[in-house]
Amino acid sequence: ASTTANAYKMVVGPDDAIHATVYLNRFSGSSSLYDSLSPVAGTSNFQLALVKYSSNAQRLLWYHFYNALDFSDVGDLAVDKDRQVYLSLKGLNGKTLFGVSTGTSGTPAFLLWYRSNGNLHKTLNTMLTAHTAVFTGIQAVDSNTLYVSGTTNRDSLIFCGTTMRVQGRNRGPNRSFHFIFQLRFFDTIGWFATSNHHEGTFFSSTLAVTGDFVYGSFDHNNDTLVMGGFFKRAPTLIRCVLYKFDRLGNMLWFIDNPSPVSAIINTIQGNDLVYTGLFGSSVFLDPFTLRGRSTANAFLARITDYNIVRGKVKAGPYCAGDSLKVPYTKSGVFDTSNVFTAE
């Protein structure tokens, strides 16, 4: 191990191998990356390492070192069903990174695709937009379908030839907005959605994919939310937003959190939405109000996702033009924003 180390992200792949991004400070001299047979010696004081270990953490299967002084942030890490790896980084200006110059203004986001053997296969970046951007959430189905979320600090973001524009108007000098998009074949935007401006700079976001649905969250810090055809104005600040999209890019619902202290969502899993976060003095999770004992308190919450299940249809035969009733059961809270189409 190095003198000091900080792990950013860790993901277990379908082969149970362990993938992680690690910041290594003073990684030189007698320092090394652990391997039960052949430890990898340190070569530089400040390194950002992407590593893959065997399931028992004894063998270092492959690794990449990057100069940590070239990047201001590590976004997210994902592994698809074919064991391919995807990493997002936020570069600094005035650098040459992955064969491109980052210029003198803005800090671009990079999205990297590694084959299962660790070879860097392809890179994408936001260089066409001379503004700061960060990809904070990645979910990978396979190399044909990725979902990416993040934040940018202006009115639009250009990525893979698609311009994603903010919803609504600027609300302050430190404007930024949330985005989510589906990336097809690692070169084409399948669909995207954006929010209105946040009241602040950059905020965290997370993503999770379950079946044909994409769940996400982000800090918003505005009394108005505009996204995916939805609009809401709240009497207090909307601190945190959770949302659900289908695989076609339709926003199905969102839940806002008007807590006086922003609840940062860290994990979203399952069809029943299970999520964790942090809050200060109190947080309102309808219908519960939680009160903290310190300035940083953790919570774990579960809500029943909106769901509709088709029942059994009476056996035919039926003729053209006949009508039949399809029984169904539903769970969760439905309102006029939920639209169901028979198939």
**Any idea which residue has 């391919």 for tokens?**
84
- Token digits of residue 86: 């995807």
Q: Give the residue carrying structure tokens 């065997």.
A: 54
Task: Label residue 217 exposed, middle or buried (CB < 10 Å: 0-12, 13-18, 19+).
Answer: buried
* Least confidently predicted of 103-107, 127-131, 139-143: 127-131
Q: Does pTM top 0.85 for this prediction?
A: no
DSSP letters for 48-75: EEEEEE-TTS--EEEEEEEEGGGEEEEE
- Give kind and range of the element (H or E) at residue 94: none
pLDDT at position 54, please?
96
Residue 245: beta bridge partners? 214, 251
| Mean pLDDT for the stretch of residues 127-133 | 70
> Mean pLDDT: which of 127-136, 168-177, 270-279 is highest?
127-136
Straight-line distance from the first to the last Cα atom of the chain, in angstroms, rounded to the nearest whole number: 56
Beta bridge mates, 71: 91
In the predicted model, is pLDDT for residue 320 greater than 80? Answer: no
Rounded CA gap, 123 and 116, in Å?
15
- Is 155 exposed, middle or buried, given 0-12, 13-18 or 19+ CB atoms closer than 10 A? middle
